[in-house]
Amino acid sequence: MNDPRAMLPDVACRRALRRRLLAWYDDHARDLPWRRTNDPYAVWLSEIMLQQTQVETVKPYFERFMKALPTVEALARADEHEVLRLWEGLGYYRRARQLHRAAQIILTEHGGRFPRDPEAVRRLPGIGRYTAGAILSIAFDAQEPILEANTVRLLSRLLAYAGPPHSGEGQRILWATAEILLPRRKAGRFNQALMELGSEVCTARAPRCMDCPVAVLCRANQQERQQEIPLAKIKQPQQPVREAALVVRRRGRVLLLRWPEGRRWAGLWDFPRFPLAGESHTGIDRELAENVRALTGVMVAPGRRITTLTHGVTRFRITLDCYEAEYVSVDKTAATLLETRWLRPAELADYPLSSTGRKLANLVQKNAR
Ligand code: SF4
């Protein structure tokens, strides 16, 4: 690959781009809760929450989290149970657990102050090159570049880079572009302006080039190639999967288990659930009972189906059949088992659950009233 800098606009164009973009941002920046401060903890929290999640979804979660755990130290000292309960519904729970672990490292190794050294920041769990650049530039005005979904699209179009943006070559070119465009001062504001323009104007399907402050500098616009740049990823179709969950009852309480390390919802509580092997409903009771026993050591008598929930997890489209079941006994010979608790319906509100677990818990609570 040739020097990627050869693709970049010249010095005069870069200056014009910075000036136009920052002026546009002064007038158009959305008022978002995490933009009212440059506290590195708040910036960090917002950046982690915004990974794979829409701004509007994040807003209430961010405000609730900051209210409950307003500092790195408060987060570090919190119970994981509380952190996951605050995160419940945002998905990708690994983010919350890594955030919690990183806060503990900041407390023990950096005296509770968010580190300013890029290497130290990147060593924290859950923080990659993009997140480190965003926190350091926004909170400390460090001259650190960023590259995420919105800026990948925007920079690809500005350069008219038509190759795959997530390839090795694409990443080298786009990171080099993000770096060379950065102004010496106001790097954080400039990075935020890039993301804002990508998210609000240079959108994926219908970029609003007529309203774009950098349209005269944009090569895709000049070549009328906005629709074909960046090269779209080929979407894999979701794979259908059938699973079952059981509400096991025993003297007014229901059985919950806690997913261990390495499982999809590690750290969260849930009703016993598992993939179903059988295609038909013949022999389903045996399959349900055997799976609950294997997970928890509890022997059950399955009953009627209560509801069916559908939801997507990564590349899977899951159809979850939910059943009632009665406790029978405990199999004391069962091997490795998960942590379990018998809870009164009212207690379910205190436990962090997966989103389907919460839907089922709401049904249980409603029926208990
Ligand atoms: S001119 Fe259009 S394609 Fe180019 S950066 Fe602006 S909105 Fe995006």
CA of 208 to the centre of ligand 1 (A): 7
Q: Is the CB of 296 under 6 A from ligand 1?
A: no
Per-residue pLDDT 10s for the chain (369 aa) are: 445 567 777 888 899 999 999 999 999 999 999 999 999 999 999 999 999 899 999 999 999 999 999 999 999 999 999 999 999 999 999 999 999 999 999 999 999 999 999 999 999 999 999 999 999 999 999 999 999 999 999 999 999 999 999 999 999 999 999 999 999 999 999 999 999 999 999 999 999 999 999 999 999 999 999 999 999 888 888 999 999 999 999 999 999 999 999 888 999 999 999 999 865 556 899 999 999 999 999 999 999 999 999 998 888 999 999 999 999 999 888 776 899 999 999 999 999 999 999 999 999 999 876
Among 17, 25, 155, 201, which is best to mutate for testing ligand 1, by the most ligand atoms less than 8 A from CB? 201
158 CB near ligand 1 (under 6 Å): yes
Which residue has its alpha carbon closest to ligand 1 atom 8? 202
Q: Which of 156, 157, 225 to mutate to test the pocket of ligand 1 (most atoms within 8 A of CB)?
A: 157
Q: At what angle do helices 187-200 and 149-159 cross, to 10 degrees?
A: 90
Q: Exposed, middle or buried, 203 (CB in 10 Å: 0-12/13-18/19+)?
A: middle
Closest CA to 149 of 47, 39, 17: 47
Residue 194 Cβ contacting ligand 1 at under 6 Å = no
Distance from Cα 196 to the centre of ligand 1, integer Å: 12
Instruction: Write the DSSP symbol of residue 35.
Output: G
Q: Provide the CA 11 distance to its chain's centre, in angstroms.
A: 37
Pocket test for ligand 1, best of 209, 210, 219, 229 (most atoms within 8 A of CB): 209
Those residues whose C-beta lies under 8 Å from the C-beta of residue 27, and which sit 6 or more positions away, are none
The preferred substitution site among 17, 21, 212, 224 for testing ligand 1, maximizing ligand atoms within 8 Å of CB, is 212
DSSP string, 75-126: HHHS-HHHHHHHHTTS--THHHHHHHHHHHHHHHHSTTSPP--HHHHHTSTT
pLDDT for 1 equals 47
Q: From CA 354, how far away is CA 358, in angstroms rounded?
A: 6
The ligand 1 atom nearest the CA atom of 215: 1
Pocket of ligand 1 contains residue 361 by CB under 6 Å: no
Q: Is the pTM of this model over 0.75?
A: yes
For the CA of 214, the nearest atom of ligand 1: 6
Distance from Cα 204 to the centre of ligand 1, integer Å: 10
97 lines ligand 1 (CB under 6 A): no
Assigned token pair, 174: 């786009």
Q: How far apart are CA 294 and CA 287, in angstroms?
A: 11
Cα four-point dihedral sign 136, 138, 142, 147: positive
Residue 196 near residue 205, CB atoms below 8 Å = no
Residue 47 annotated among the catalytic residues of the structure: yes
The reply to whether ligand 1 has any atom less than 6 angstroms from the CB of 17 is: no
> What is residue 279's predicted lDDT score, i.e. its pLDDT?
58
* pLDDT given at position 282: 62
Are 348 and 360 in contact by the 8 Å Cβ rule? The answer is no
What whole-number distance in Å separates Cα of residue 35 and Cα of residue 53? Answer: 17
* 264, two tokens: 């999809």
**Are 52 and 19 in contact, with CB atoms under 8 Å apart?**
no
Is the CA virtual torsion 66, 67, 68, 69 positive or negative? positive
Question: Is any ligand 1 atom within 6 A of the Cβ of residue 202?
Answer: yes
Helix intervals (H) in the chain? 11-28, 40-50, 55-68, 72-77, 80-87, 94-109, 118-122, 129-140, 149-159, 168-181, 187-200, 219-222, 284-296, 355-368
Q: Which atom of ligand 1 is nearest to the CA of 229?
A: 3
Q: For the chain, what's the residue count? A: 369
216: CA distance to ligand 1 center in Å?
9
Q: Which atom of ligand 1 is nearest to the CA of 212?
A: 6
DSSP string over 283-321: THHHHHHHHHHHHHSEEEEEEEEEEEEEEEETTEEEEEE
Query: How many angstroms does the Cα of residue 133 sit away from the middle of ligand 1?
Result: 24
- How far is residue 161 from each of residues 18, 33, 153, 212, measured CA to CA in Å? 20, 34, 10, 19
Ligand 1 within 6 A of CB of 229: no
